[in-house]
Amino acid sequence: MDETTLQINGRPYQFAADKETPLLTVLRELLDLTGSKYGCGEGQCGSCTVLIDGKARRSCVVPVWAAAGKQITTIEGLAKGEQLHPVQQAFLEEGAMQCAFCTSGMIMSAVSLLNAQRNPSEAEILTAMQGNICRCGTYPRILAAIRKASTLLQGARP
């Protein structure tokens, strides 16, 4: 067990865990940040996606030591107070969810994509989202939500 501090959603979290513990386990079990989900444990379904220094990462395969010293954002840290992130807003408006278990991972992957490219092509969207599974088959609406968020973000400011 090692004392570790992680910077999550703009604030430090201190806890004791083995350095090899997956970040997802720390988030869910020690810090009660349960918005990131366990779906496979092998980085194949995307339910656990968080941002590490702004980029989408599968937290189920990121050990704690690899996240130390970096800025981590989870779904809980995306909205600014009551103000939803444009991607969250777009998912709501497009009804881009059914059971919604994949939703937080989908949103984090989409935020990562739009961080890097505000106006992604269809092919870029598919590539960025290919690692996220929605078993309910909400894919067309998720794509629509990402396009809508892209428009919202481009309108926001350069």
* H or E segment and range at residue 109: helix 103-116
How many Å apart are CA 107 and CA 96, to the nearest integer? Answer: 10
Check binding of 70 to another protein (CB under 8 A): no
Q: Where in 13-52 is the site for another protein (CB under 8 A)?
A: 17-18, 21, 25, 28-29, 32-42, 44-45, 47
Check binding of 124 to another protein (CB under 8 A): no
Check binding of 141 to another protein (CB under 8 A): yes
Check binding of 67 to another protein (CB under 8 A): no
Check binding of 72 to another protein (CB under 8 A): no
Check binding of 92 to another protein (CB under 8 A): yes
Q: For the chain, how many helices (H) and strands (E)?
A: 6, 5
Position among 23, 91, 120, 150 found at the interface with another protein (CB under 8 A): 91
Check binding of 2 to another protein (CB under 8 A): no
Name the residue among 151, 124, 132, 134 with its Cα closest to residue 48: 132
Helices 139-156 and 86-94 cross at an angle (nearest 10°) of 140
How many Å apart are CA 63 and CA 59, to the nearest integer? Answer: 8
Position among 5, 19, 69, 95 found at the interface with another protein (CB under 8 A): 95
Which segments within the chain are labelled E, that is strand?
2-8, 11-17, 49-52, 55-58, 71-73
Position among 66, 84, 144, 152 found at the interface with another protein (CB under 8 A): 84
Helices 103-116 and 139-156 cross at an angle (nearest 10°) of 40
User: Which residues have C-beta within 8 Å of that of residue 144, sequence separation ≥ 6?
Assistant: 94, 96
Check binding of 59 to another protein (CB under 8 A): no
CB of 88 to another protein, least distance (A): 4
Residues that bind another protein (CB under 8 A): 17-18, 21, 25, 28-29, 32-42, 44-45, 47, 74-76, 78-79, 84, 88-89, 91-93, 95, 97-104, 107, 125-126, 129-130, 132-143
